[in-house]
Structure 1
Amino acid sequence: MVRISAATWRLTVSRVVIVVEVTTTYLEMRSPSALRPASRALPEHCEIALVPHISADFSKFLYRSVGSELYWADRLVLSREQWQALVSADGTETYVLSVNHAPAGYIELVSRVTGAADSPATSPTTEVEIMYFGLFPEATGQGLGGVLLTEGISQAWTMDSRWETLPPVSRVWVHTCSLDGPAAIPNYEARGLTVYRTETEDLDPQDGAAGLWPASS
């Protein structure tokens, strides 16, 4: 839900800028035993699968299909080569939810080794960020978000078993903001993630749907 307080308007050469107050919420899970799976089982007509060697084009399709109405625009400035480098990096995985064999949502996991550089006396561990997660608009409201998030968190905790260069996973985390869908934080908390920080700042949300579809008449 977008929460606008004391919106500030200023006219630029190209567009009107709207500054809104956006709250970013950070959540984490520090043990796989904290995961609370969704109560609903994955329906028979649905599948969640890892996409090995995902292409930048398919990743961008997923990103825009989920995020075009949620102000996702941070990656839209990237070239195909830059995008491909991100999604092909070691310890990065993309899982796609399909409904009747058609993509309906996805979760992208990104690993980072931490500990050793900050403190030589500390053994390195892996932290896995849920970088992107969501459903296509037509797939919302069916209980599929909890199922997809359950699978994504489960895969995050076993990331080191698939990437031999990664030390054991010690933490799974995500950040979301008040521009996201209203079910985002309740879903994260229902799965066992807990809030550890919030930040509020004034931002100019970028149009994630720009160029995706012609404007409705």
Structure 2
Amino acid sequence: MDVTTWYLEQTSRSDLLPAGTPAIEADIVRAEIVSPEFSRFLYTAVGGDWQWTDRLRWTWREWKDLLDGDVETWVAYHRGTPAGYVELTPGQDAEVEISSFGLMSWATGRGLGGRLLESGTARAWDLADRHEGREPTRRVWLHTCSLDGPHALANYRARGFRLYDTRHGAPGDEDEGTTPGPWPGAGPRAGPEEQ
């Protein structure tokens, strides 16, 4: 299987374009307590349908080591239920990577992805305001691939991200064959609106 990976960036806060109003309301809140269990839950619940398998082998300690840095997790909640999340990973030279981003299956197609990406990108741009001694962000970047959701690339571009590299090749660690879903054998997806 050939996988295309796109690398996108913003180099100025003014690059960020606003999203429309989503069909469902959401509160976007920072998860301020380091919780490997919660982060792994978000990773599997969002990424299980999109070949996100590279972190499934991680130990509790590996999750904690990731989160003990300046990594920030922002979670979208609809009626008290997690709907999606964005993970921000600070790097060298005042860069911030959007290292994970996505919605639960039940929350897709409701305009929430644009709103969450707008909010998460804004938080990447003002990350230094929450971390003493950190330089102001000069670049926000991310990557997506042809294994991700069909609207991911369009959403990134609609929020003002520009393509700076494209790579083609065999899948790496992220592809281990059949996607596991949020958990093996997961049934139909029903969200708060359908229950």
Question: TM-score higher than 0.5 here?
Answer: yes
Q: 2:82 aligns with which of 99, 103, 117?
A: 103
Query: What is the Cα deviation at residue 203 of structure 1?
Result: 2.2
SS at match of 2:110: coil
Higher relative contact order (CA 8 A, sep 6+): 2
Counterpart of 1:51? 31
SS at match of 1:38: coil
CA distance in 1, matches of 2:16, 2:186: 42
Instruction: Give the percent of matched residue pairs that are identical in Structure 1 and Structure 2.
Output: 42
CA distance in 2, matches of 1:210, 1:190: 27
User: Would you say how many aligned residue pairs link Structure 1 and Structure 2?
Assistant: 184
Matching of residue 155 in structure 1 with residue 123 in structure 2: yes
Query: What is the Cα deviation at residue 54 of structure 1?
Result: 3.1
Q: TM-score, normalised by structure 2?
A: 0.89
CA distance in 1, matches of 2:115, 2:180: 26
Give structure 2 stretches of 5+ with no counterpart: 188-195
SS at match of 2:91: strand
Query: What is the Cα deviation at residue 41 of structure 1?
Result: 5.8
CA distance in 2, matches of 1:46, 1:149: 13
Larger Rg belongs to: 1
Counterpart of 2:50? 70
SS at match of 2:40: helix
CA distance in 1, matches of 2:47, 2:147: 10
Give structure 1 stretches of 5+ with no counterpart: 1-19, 115-125
> Given that residues 27 and 77 in structure 2 are in contact (C-alpha distance below 8 angstroms), is that contact kept between their aligned partners in structure 1?
yes
The two structures, once aligned, show a CA RMSD in angstroms of 1.8
Instruction: Write out per-residue CA displacement over residues 119-170 of structure 1, whole angstroms, 9 at most, x where no aligned residue.
Output: xxxxxxx100000000000000000000000000000000111111311110
Q: TM-score, normalised by structure 1?
A: 0.80
Counterpart of 2:138? 170
